[in-house]
Amino acid sequence: MAGRLQNRLALITGASRGIGRAVALAMAAEGAHPILVARTVGGLEEVDDEIRQMGGSATLVPLDLTDFDAIDRLGGTIFERWGKLDILVGNAGMLGSLTPVNHIEPKDWDRLLAVNLTANWRLIRSCDPLLRRAEAGRAIFVTSGAARKCRPFWGGYSITKSALETMVVTWAHENEKTSLRINLISPGPVRTAMRAQAMPGEDPGTLPTPKQVAPLFVELATEAYQGHGRIVEFKRAPD
């Protein structure tokens, strides 16, 4: 399949549904070989079927991102099989409970930190050497406007996304003299299960779909894109 990401290897977390699924399909359509990471085997298989129907191929990795040792093993496996990684998309995340900061349960706090922050740090740690071996490595992480708005009752999510932004931009500054380009995307409200959990009374028909957001990820993953250390906001085209 010819395209802007022809023969490039893309690791995508949270790839079984929502934005991750849409990004996997969009990158496959542009010629990439996605490594699909998610907990749900059935969801991964459905995405794989769609990629095969369009003439592409994918590698499925059923994995809970809180299994940090498994993330290390994944990096080793990628090195042994391909020797490099062209694109990393850190998409997986969780909302957590919408509650006052002092009411967050310790187990929920630990889970939010593990999924939204530590798992992405482990991905950086595992994939940095692989991305450096690529001619034009690209890393993209998903953030949220909640990281800067500090909305009441959104503390757990906001705090972990704010920390993610700080970590990713710091890593970007450490790579200013390399060919690796590192950025974040803030997609805004999107028609996903997480958004429905956060805003149950909202009409999903008023929101952009993950498919509409996915081209922005493709753009940032191309060799032509030279932005670095940026938080790029999705701008919905007029209907």
Residue 184's nearest CA partner among 87, 73, 90, 59 is: 90
The whole-angstrom separation of Cα 119 and Cα 71 is 8
Annotate 59-119 with DSSP letters as a single string. EEEE--TT-HHHHHHHHHHHHHHTS--SEEEE----------GGG--HHHHHHHIIIIIIH
What are the two backbone dihedrals, phi and then psi, of residue 145, each rounded to the nearest 5 degrees?
-60, -20
Q: Would you please indicate which residues are annotated as catalytic (active-site) residues?
A: 157
156 — alpha (psi -120 to 50), left (phi > 0) or beta? alpha
Q: Which residues pair with 89 in a beta bridge?
A: 12, 140
Q: Give the tokens for residue 62.
A: 């059923």
Q: Give the tokens for residue 140.
A: 């993209």
